[in-house]
Amino acid sequence: MQAIPVNWWAVIVAALIRMAVGTLWYSPVAFGPRWQLLSGVTQEKWTANMPMAIATDGIMSLIMAFALASIVGASGISDLLNGGLAGFWVWLGFMMPVMVGLWAHESRSAELVAIMSGFNLVALLLMGALLGVWR
């Protein structure tokens, strides 16, 4: 298998984009309060767990960005639209099945699954678009 060149600066920025989307998505002005209610995470628990959550999310965002950069690079994508489309297909093929599984197997509410899935859809679209143009 041939090595796929990866732009590490683009990977880092894509990971930061995912974290920024998450910060806005789960903020008090967006879906944060509803997510807390549906998931049962209290404000105290959220605040106490924040340092570990941010560190974990940062690492997972880097892994996600690297994987998406590898897919974009292996596919020869070099434009915004197809980069975003790659993000969409990753979301549809990998994220959505996992999220729907949470709904089906763990009886999570459809609204909670929609909130979490929507976050990952928006993040992957933006990450893919960036990785498509910044090679």
Residue 2 lies in a domain: no
d(CA 91, CA 89): 5
Residue 1 lies in a domain: no
Render pLDDT for 2-60 as a digit per residue (tens, 0 to 9). 788 899 999 999 999 999 999 999 999 999 999 999 999 999 998 999 999 999 999 99
d(CA 46, CA 59): 19
Residue 90 lies in a domain: yes
Q: How many domains does the chain have?
A: 1
Across the chain, mean pLDDT equals: 95
Domain hosting residue 92, numbered range: 8-133
Residue 79, SS3 per DSSP: coil
Residue 26 lies in a domain: yes
pLDDT for the residue 34: 97
Instruction: Provide the b/e sequence for 45-78 (b: ≥16 CB within 10 Å).
Output: eeeeeeeeeeeebeeebbebbbebbbbbbeeebe
pTM equals 0.95
